[in-house]
Chains A and B, each alone.
Chain A
Amino acid sequence: MNLSNEEIRSKILEFLKTNFFLDTKATPLKDSDSFLQKGIIDSTGVLEVINFLQTDFGIEVLDSELLPENIDSVGNLISYISKKTETHA
């Protein structure tokens, strides 16, 4: 899979919109905004993110990768997804 960062970003935002009722028009989300601080995801939400990474990108998230630097913002997710899909290819 060779998606551009822009394509990955729009998939992430779409997922946040459907699953967490995020209205990016009313509350713009910057790439660096922490999901945790913004109250977007909590401990059950993180499981949905894992599920999303698996179904949409074929990424198996290891428990040891459950780190904010991989998951806690749109920007972090983009780099994590790019890294994981590269090694898979």
Chain B
Amino acid sequence: MITKVIMPKLSDAMETGKVIKWIKKEGDSVKGGDVIAEVETDKANVEIEAFGSGVLRKIVVGEGGQVPVGNLIGVIAEPSDDISNLAASAPSPAAAAAPALPAMESYKSEPATTSVVPMSPVPAATAGASAGGGRVKASPLARKVAAQSGVDLRLVQGSGPGGRIVRRDVEAAGTAPATAQPVVRPAAAAPAAAARPAFVIPPRTGAEFEDQPLSPMRAVIAKRMPLSKGPIPHFYVTSEVAMDRAWALRADLNALEGQPKVSVTDLIIKACALALLKNPGVNAQLQGQAIRVFHRAHIGIAVALDEGLITPVLRDCDAKPLSQIAFEARDLAERARGGKLRAQEMSGATFSVSNLGMFDVEEFSAIINPPEGAILAVGSVVEKPVAEGGQIRVGRRMKMTISCDHRVMDGAMGARFLQDVKRLLEEPLRLLV
């Protein structure tokens, strides 16, 4: 079997990578999972693993060589395999490197040529997940579809019994294969099964503690968060918003027939999108020696899951009407909970929103999701006494805290952005025009 070694795309913004070191030499035998080389990206040095077994037959890009993402950097094959075509062929971009479809006769074994690019921004994390003993539970059919569509099962969340990955999970997660069935969306009007869950405190167990293996998702979070909170100097700005008018507007919108229900989060997303266009300095991220300023508001929405959290991305929120944001945000969140997000929906945000309001949280601060430059943490809308013109009345208030990357922006920029979000929410008709 011939396995191409390709310059992996290790972050959203990565375009080229430099081979720092080959750990294996030409002629060394290699097993799947062995670390074969170190690659330098714009942010870190990472090890790359072999995705196939055999002999490292050829090093195409030597140490110190810099090539675009997706280019061939080496070839792993059996000593008997003829690799002359491959080694000589022009480098192919990663996106087009779908494995050849095996014929019926040969699907009992792996495709003759595979080229697998890790989909995780930090491959070391996935290596950690597999080293941590987390066997991927997947149906035979799911494995086959994943192998053919290049989906890394370690990054797929299973919706089958006990979290088993089944075909629809793979189809939802990856580049959908030609035979993919349309994703069935849960009917919005489906009758609810149960009311509010009972408040049960489990009995004290005998064991003093237990060690739970890291789930692949938890392993990714564990790797990524220190890459944020450690190197990125966070600063925080908090503001309180009068939500009375936004609350009333939402009630009015939701009374309209045939319109998707609008949540507070949807209003905040729209407000942030508009404020980001007005304050591009906040819609920015550090890219090596430059600050990349975005002119689109692609907003990541943190969705809590039982085993961690995921931040699906709602693109072009600045250009979408509120109704569309409401519809797409709900769809993304539902599919995130069902493990049915597509790969392209999990990256590319320019800013994120995390709303813990449903947990009766007054305020909190969030950790920036790199490479983004800022994230907004939103608390509950609460009724409280407010003083206005010498009178005390009851108003609805909500606190929000922005966490900003101080390498990219300063306190006043964050504060001005927050002021604009506040104004948009307090004059919510602006969200509709």
A and B found bound together: no
